[in-house]
Amino acid sequence: MRATPMPELVERAAAQPSALDAAEVLAAPGPVKVIAEVKRKSPSKGELAGIPDPAALAAAYEAGGASVISVLTEQRRFGGSLADLDAVRERVSIPLLRKDFVVTEYQVLEARAHGADVVLLIVAALPGNQLRDLFQQVLDLGMTALVEVHDETEALRAADLGARVIGVNARNLKTLEVDPSVFGRVAAHLPDTAVKVAESGITGPGDVAGYVADGARAVLVGETLVKQSSPAAAVGWLRGLSAQEAV
């Protein structure tokens, strides 16, 4: 696909309705929040689910009580696209996260132009001023950054930025192994004011409850949700809610 010229992207971003405040949504009182992911495959697990209709899956997540939808737009390793983001944006009214390896201003603007409210910024992938510059751009566009960290040093960089939403990824980017003990260790270095999100390898309500006990306000779940026959019910199940309480 040919890249959209920058001026056109600026115009498209400006024509979007204002970004939704995902930080506020995630910080709202009540049971743990779920960021539900549209994810077809991954480098660690290969093919997860075909997802012929990503908008239908996202609508099910929303109906089941998800607070934010994460859409992987990376093509090669995750099988996603900006077309998935567009389709999901048309269908759901809750905040949308563009999940990709975002390293340029172009990608941030592209996220907004396609209706995203949140952009993932991976601290490990953004040395020096690059993290600060992209973070500022996200704020300037009225969006929220989900700043992802893996260890204590990265946690301090995220805290220094003043990030309102910080994700701790339990999956080691080099080995691709998940270590659930990472969250508690790293979260202890994050400010109370930030919404803490536990990411990766969550298989059921037991995992979620463990993370909540360690200070998580939200969980980001892909694989476990895309494999369910009823993704709507699965969102409530992860939150530890009965069918009546779930929505």
Ligand X SMILES: O=P(O)(O)OC[C@@H](O)[C@@H](O)c1c[nH]c2ccccc12
- For binding to ligand X (CB under 6 A), which residues are involved? 37, 39, 99, 148, 169, 199-202, 220-224
| Chain center to CA of 183 | 16
Work out how close the CB of 228 gets to ligand X at its nearest, in angstroms, rounded to a whole number.
12
Structure tokens at 40: 């077809």
Catalytic residue among 33, 37, 42, 154: 37
Torsion of CA 216, 107, 135, 14, to 10 degrees: -110
- What's the one-letter identity of residue 245? E
Q: In whole angstroms, what is the distance from residue 162 CA to residue 145 CA?
A: 10
**Catalytic: 148?**
yes
Residue 144: strand pairing partners: 118
Shortest distance (Å) from residue 100 CB to ligand X: 7
Shortest distance, position 208 Cβ to ligand X, whole Å: 11
The answer to whether 62 is a known catalytic residue is: no
41 tagged catalytic: no
C-alpha distance from residue 132 to each of 28, 90, 98, 123 (Å): 26, 31, 18, 10
172 catalytic residue (yes or no)? no
Q: Is 220 helix (H, G, I), strand (E, B) or coil?
A: strand
Give the separation between CA 96 and CA 19, rounded to whole angstroms: 9
Candidate list 33, 39, 41, 196, residue with the active-site label = 39
Cβ atoms 50, 39 nearer than 8 A: no
Residue 200 is a catalytic residue: yes
Residue number, 34 or 143, with CB nearest to ligand X: 34
In the set 33, 42, 62, 99, the catalytic residue is: 99
- Name the residue nearer to ligand X (CB basis): 7 or 123: 123
Considering the complex, state which of residue 10 and residue 233 has its C-beta at the smaller distance from ligand X.
Answer: 233
* Active-site annotation holds for 227: no
62, 70, 169, 223: the active-site residue: 169
* Helix/strand/coil for 55: helix
Tell me how far, at minimum, the Cβ of 15 lies from ligand X, in Å. 28
- Closest residue to bound ligand X by CB: 222
Query: Is 199 part of the annotated catalytic residue set?
Result: yes
Residues labelled as active-site residues: 37, 39, 99, 148, 169, 199-200
